[in-house]
Amino acid sequence: MTFAALPDDPDRFPERAATFMLTGPAGRLETATDVADRAHARRGTAVICHPHPLQGGTMHNKVVTMLERALRESGLDTVRFNFRGTGASEGRYADGIGEREDLAAVAAWVRRVRPDDALWLAGFSFGSYVTLSMAAALRADALISVAPPVGRWPFDGFALPGCHWLVVMGEADEVVDPKAVFDWIATLERPPELIRMPDTGHFFHRRLMDLRGAVKHAVRDWLPPPRG
């Protein structure tokens, strides 16, 4: 895929795949956007967050890019970005707190250039923790959490989302304890829709296309109206 390079802080959402820098709270954030096929486009934009920066996570992670593909094929325009200190993004890793601020800055840009769009959030592993912790504050219209790291990060210190919410969890995850995730979900007053994927590890090796299909099927009834 070829991305056009744009100036910092573009004042409109790019009309084709693009890379640029957005102003974040700790410096510039490396950002990539893409657009849905105009014939099937929906009035929504999805922001997708990557795994832990200190463990090799970037916006180019295969699970992240498959999430992006699934949502774009569903009709949403998409935004990925590197947290502070990752790739070309400025700043330093900030224990999850600064990364929430990075997400808030990117979401604010989306709200500015797409004020009438539904805002969807999605994340993988650490990225799912960041998006979940900010979904209520950012008034997200939908949330997708892939392999949320329950037991590795505190999941009880923030408001849970009141929007559509999907959790996808591999039953053979070797990084996040699947039982901890399932037990946590069972305690929630308003649990998310849960997809359990048998024989699937943390990085969805050989199961990425299954992930794509599962996400597209699960969200099809949540999609905003056609962009028209």
Give the separation between CA 95 and CA 165, rounded to whole angstroms.
25
Q: Which residues contact 185 (CB under 8 A, 6 or more apart)?
A: 167, 191, 192, 194
Q: 174-206: per-residue pLDDT in tens?
A: 999 999 999 999 999 999 999 999 999 999 999
114: how many CB neighbours lie within 10 A of its CB?
17
Q: 10-44: per-residue pLDDT in tens?
A: 999 999 999 999 999 999 999 999 999 999 999 99
pLDDT value for 86: 98
- Cα 148 → chain centroid: 12
pTM of the model: 0.97
Q: 125 with 151: CB under 8 angstroms? A: no
Q: 107-137: per-residue pLDDT in tens?
A: 999 999 999 999 999 999 999 999 999 999 9
% of the chain with per-residue pLDDT over 70:
99
pLDDT value for 157: 83
Mean pLDDT of the chain: 96
Q: What is the mean pLDDT of residues 149-176?
A: 95
Identify the three-state secondary structure at position 113.
helix
Per-residue pLDDT at 6 exceeds 90: no
Architecture of domain 4-219: 3-Layer(aba) Sandwich (3.40)
Token readout for 51 is 């795994």
Q: What is the mean pLDDT of residues 100-106?
A: 98
Which residue is associated with the tokens 């993988």? 124
Give the separation between CA 131 and CA 151, rounded to whole angstroms.
16
Q: Give backbone dihedrals phi and psi of 18, rounded to 5 degrees, phi first.
A: -150, 155
